[in-house]
Amino acid sequence: MGSREVLGQAARLASSGLLLQVLFRLITFVLNAFILRFLSKEIVGIVNVRLTLLYSTTVFLAREAFRRACLSGGAQRDWNQTFNLLWLTVPLGMFWSLLLGWVWLQLLEVPDPNAVPHYGSGVVLFGLSAVVELLGEPFWVLAQAQMFVKLKLFYTAVLVLCYVIYFTKLLGSSESTKQQTLPVSRMTDMLPSITRSRAFVNWKEAKLTWSFFKQSFLKQILTEGERYVMTFLNVLNFGDQGVYDIVNNLGSLVARLIFQPIEESFYIFFAKVLERGKDATLQKQEDMAVAATVLESLLKLALLAGLTITIFGFAYSQLALDIYGGVMLSSGSGPVLLRSYCLYVLLLAINGVTECFTFAAMSKEEVDRYNFTMLALSSSFLVLSYLLTQWCGSVGFILANCFNMGIRITQSLCFIHRYYRKSPHRPLVGLCLSPALLGAFALSGGITGISEVLLCCEQGWPARLAHIAVGALCLGMTVGTAFLTETRLIHFVRTQLGVSRLADKTL
């Protein structure tokens, strides 16, 4: 499969993931806005912070390294060994679920049963759902490796059931073109198998999995670090944890809707197009050119999206929180939290793109060296978040995240610069904007800031609507300037969307 075909499939994967993410997140967004009127901040804090942390930690530690290692393999491999390796995620998930469940029940502070009932049952159910989700891991990796765009489904039990039904139907159809290209011919080929003619697993993939596991453990601390600090150090009460989590979820909504599907899909693209650990001068030049063009365009897209969220988020944070959750969110520290998070989203957008390329191109040795940097970042984050929280409250978590994200971006940019140093390609120019576009962002920020002071948010709905209209006009001016100045990016987006639509018709 050529690099441009892989690019087309990666673009389809990102666009389909984006559509489903938007659909499900919008449903969740509406339901949460309704539920917030009937739940206490304490219950929100326990469920959204402590129990969700149990679930995400179990799943992340059990599968993240296996996913990255098995998706990095080439087409010519023994898939039975890969499936054997992937099935190890289930007992590993059971181990983490039992160990962490015991910690959550025995070592952490148990909330007041009158304020938060059924805490023990919640711990058991969240841990069980994590194990059930891991049953679908071999099917998920096979679907991702084959880039089955239309197979982006629900999770836990529904996820496993849908994968089993889909592959059973696909493998039973001898006329399917997809079935002829699959590395398996029947469902039993995906179950664990032991034969004397070959090793149980591919040891190269197993060693790479261990490297990614160490990296995943550190990355999990960086990703969920504030929840670990809140859970184990009790720097915030359950009510403050609830408010922080609501604002955190609202602020990261766009990051999860747009940036995460792009990062996951184009990591697969870069992993397939580039040979891991191989010098840029030794790669296929056509693949190098395509990868550089894609990386430049993704960086530009991430920068524009992040700046838009940052500039307009500062002026509309209080209004958004008031509409979403009422006075409980729009008063106190809520608006300051969301404004700070808007800056963090900009860093998230850039880091997602740079790291998806870096992790796809690094050799095993480079991944191991990067783990030491992640270890230092993890330690500094925990210390810094604790100190900043003592100084400025829950905003300290976001400031600590911004610091660590900046360090991670710097590490990835240095790797990309070294990687392309001896080639004619310069993808990092994607982080440069035209003076006209920078001026449009600055002007929009100033106008919307003045509008917020004059019109929002205690002067009734007519003033609020006027404030929204001002923002819409400024946004239109900024987007129009981007269309006129960033023609290469617009061409890239239009081309890939066109490829996606054309390819979808052939599936």
pLDDT tens figures, 139-190:
778 877 766 545 546 444 565 566 667 667 767 766 555 555 666 666 677 6
Highest mean pLDDT of the ranges 39-48, 98-107, 497-506: 98-107
Structure tokens that stand for 390 in this block: 């003592």
**CA pair distance 13, 420, nearest whole angstrom:** 27
More confident residue, 139 or 469: 469
**CA pair distance 229, 248, nearest whole angstrom:** 15
Query: Worst-scoring range by mean pLDDT, 136-140, 222-226, 312-316, 480-484?
Result: 222-226
Confidence of residue 124 (pLDDT cuts 50, 70, 90): very high
Query: Worst-scoring range by mean pLDDT, 104-118, 202-216, 298-312, 450-464?
Result: 202-216
Contacts of 450 (CB under 8 A, 6+ apart): none
Confidence of residue 121 (pLDDT cuts 50, 70, 90): very high
Cα dihedral 107, 113, 116, 119 sign: positive
Contacts of 465 (CB under 8 A, 6+ apart): none
Contacts of 411 (CB under 8 A, 6+ apart): 358, 370, 373
Global confidence as pTM: 0.70
Give the pLDDT mean for 430-450.
Answer: 94
266 neighbors 359 (Cβ within 8 angstroms): no
**CA pair distance 1, 122, nearest whole angstrom:** 46
Average pLDDT, the chain: 81
132 pLDDT higher than 50:
yes
Decide: residue 466, CB within 10 A, 0-12 exposed, 13-18 middle, 19+ buried. Answer: middle
Amino acid 264: pLDDT: 76
Give the pLDDT mean for 241-267.
Answer: 79
Task: Provide the H-helix boundaries in 326-432.
Answer: 327-330, 334-361, 364-392, 395-419
116 neighbors 240 (Cβ within 8 angstroms): no
Q: Kind and range of the H or E element at 493?
A: helix 487-506
16 pLDDT higher than 50:
yes
**CA pair distance 292, 168, nearest whole angstrom:** 39
251 neighbors 344 (Cβ within 8 angstroms): yes
- The closest of 189, 217, 180, 60 to 130, measured between CA atoms, is 60
More confident residue, 190 or 58: 58
Amino acid 506: pLDDT: 35
